[in-house]
Homo-oligomer: A and B are copies of this chain.
Amino acid sequence: MQATNKTRRKRPGTSRRGKRATVQIHHLRSPCPIANLLDVAGDKWSLLVVRDLLRGRSTFNQLLESPEKIPTNLLADRLKRLEKAGILMRTPYQKRPVRYSYTLTQKGKELQHVLDVVVRWSKKHIAGVQTFTDLNL
């Protein structure tokens, strides 16, 4: 019924110290290539962002408009993570008002092959799917 042993865990709030500004070693769960992609894009949104960039979307608001309706805070977070992972780049395409555009790197563009196969699988095995017209994505 109970683990009773409450074994001291960190007191939240009191220790103003562990802000994890430490080593940047981004620790891989395993040497498996599948686990490696999942470490960086293993969530419900990242690959949709990649899909939209492949489809030619490039600004924050364009990315928000897709039918899945990603929340703004998650989009901001995913863009940061994917940039850090070298999958996309963020560049100001104009200043005065500064506006940013997001574009895939070569590494990111090659995820197209992954998405292609995913599309083929889903079309075969899931009812009611349909692709965005032009790019087959």
Contact = CB atoms under 8 A, between A and B. Distances in A.
A113 interface: yes
B38 A47 contact: yes
A131 interface: yes
Interface in A84-137: 86, 107, 110-111, 113-126, 128-132, 137
Interface of A: 1, 10, 28-39, 42-45, 47-48, 51, 66-68, 86, 107, 110-111, 113-126, 128-132, 137
A129 B10 contact: no
Copies in the complex: 2
A77 to B, nearest CB: 15
Contacts of A47: 34, 38, 42
9 contacts: A31-B128, A33-B126, A33-B131, A34-B48, A34-B51, A37-B118, A38-B44, A110-B125, A114-B118
